[in-house]
């Protein structure tokens, strides 16, 4: 006796694969709480009533302009809509061969933490810095908002901060307000490598 296997997945599982984000329940809950009908929301958002109904039932994934229009009509914060997605992706991984690289003349910056725009003013970025002997950074020479933390991985350098000069060598770490002018000068005979953390993000702010 053979037992046939049913390879069909439940409709809910198939729907999860088709629709990456499930906004429907939240949109419907807010609409009903405000006492709006499907017709009213659809009319104000400039879409059909049937489309709103399908979105609320997670039958279709709305285009971004449609989602923005619905959120505007219902006065919904987009962070509220996407918080479920963020909970499902709490860990960010950047593979070694996928790191973004930024260069400023001879200096190389390699991203290890990607800024998350959803963090607003609290965005965070981290990268390694490689500075050849006898060269220095330029970007912070006028200062900017936020704070920075650095860890010297190899080599030695000087941190020029306002009118002060601090010597740093392998294993040393430093933290400071980025609002004052600051420059890292490689004073060694070999290249300097350092890990740097900045908040809010300054260098790798684009997607």
Confirm whether 3 is domain-assigned: no
Does the pLDDT of residue 18 top 90, yes or no? no
- The residue ranking higher by pLDDT, 187 or 20, is 187
Q: What is the mean pLDDT of the segment spanning 149-165?
A: 96
pLDDT at 195 over 90: yes
Predicted pLDDT at 169: 97
Give me the half-sphere count of Cα atoms (radius 13 Å) on the Cβ side of residue 138.
Answer: 7
Mean of all residue pLDDT scores within the chain: 84
Cβ neighbours around 168 below 10 Å, total = 20
Asked if residue 186 has pLDDT above 60, the reply is yes
How many whole angstroms separate alpha carbon 50 and alpha carbon 38?
8
Q: What angle do CA 107, 143, 155 make, to 5 degrees?
A: 35
How much is the pTM? 0.59
The pLDDT of residue 7 is: 44
More confident residue, 115 or 4: 115
Average pLDDT over residues 14-22: 50
3-state SS class at 31? helix
- Retrieve residue 80's tokens: 């509220």
Q: Give Cβ neighbours of residue 24 (< 8 Å, ≥ 6 apart).
A: 55, 56, 57, 58
CATH number at residue 65: 1.10.260.40
Angle CA(78)–CA(79)–CA(81) in degrees, nearest 5? 65
Beta-strand runs (E) in 55-144: 101-104, 107-113, 125-131
Co-location of 38 and 17 in the same domain:
yes
Range of the domain at 81: 11-88
List 194's β-bridge partners, or say none. Answer: 129, 152
One domain for residues 106 and 180: yes
Per-residue pLDDT tens digits for 122-148: 789 999 999 999 999 987 667 788 999
Percentage of the chain lying above the pLDDT 70 cut: 83
What are the Cα distances from residue 169, in Å, to 105, 107, 136, 176? 23, 18, 15, 17
83 & 105 share domain: no
Residue where a domain terminates, one of 88, 106, 128 = 88
Contact 162, 107 (CB under 8 A): no
pLDDT above 50 for 17: no
Number of folded domains that form the chain: 2
Average pLDDT over residues 20-39: 86
Interhelix angle 49-56/38-45, rounded to 10 degrees, is: 110
Q: Which residues pair with 196 in a beta bridge?
A: 127, 150
Give dist(CA 174, CA 197) in Å, integer. 10
- Summarised one tens digit per residue, pLDDT across range 44-103 is 999 999 999 999 998 888 888 898 899 899 988 877 777 665 555 567 888 988 899 999
Is residue 206 in some structural domain? Answer: no
């Amino acid at each position: 006796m053979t037992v046939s296997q049913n390879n069909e997945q439940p409709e809910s599982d198939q729907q999860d694969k088709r629709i990456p984000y499930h906004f429907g329940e939240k949109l419907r809950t807010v609409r009903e709480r405000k006492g709006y009908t499907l017709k009213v929301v659809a009319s104000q958002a400039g879409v059909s009533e049937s489309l709103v109904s399908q979105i609320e039932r997670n039958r279709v994934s709305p285009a971004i302009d449609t989602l923005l229009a619905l959120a505007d009509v219902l006065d919904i914060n987009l962070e509220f809509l996407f918080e479920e997605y963020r909970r499902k992706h709490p860990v960010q991984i950047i593979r070694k061969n996928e790191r973004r690289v930024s260069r400023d003349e001879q200096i190389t910056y390699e991203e290890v933490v990607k800024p998350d725009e959803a963090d607003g003013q609290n965005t965070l970025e981290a990268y390694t810095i490689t500075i050849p002997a006898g060269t220095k950074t330029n970007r912070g020479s006028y200062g900017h908002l936020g704070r920075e933390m650095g860890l010297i991985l190899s080599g030695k350098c000087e941190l020029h901060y306002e009118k002060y000069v601090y010597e740093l060598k392998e294993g040393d770490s430093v933290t400071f307000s980025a609002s004052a002018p600051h420059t890292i000068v490689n004073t060694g005979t070999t290249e300097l490598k350092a890990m740097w953390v900045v908040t809010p993000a300054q260098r790798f702010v684009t997607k």
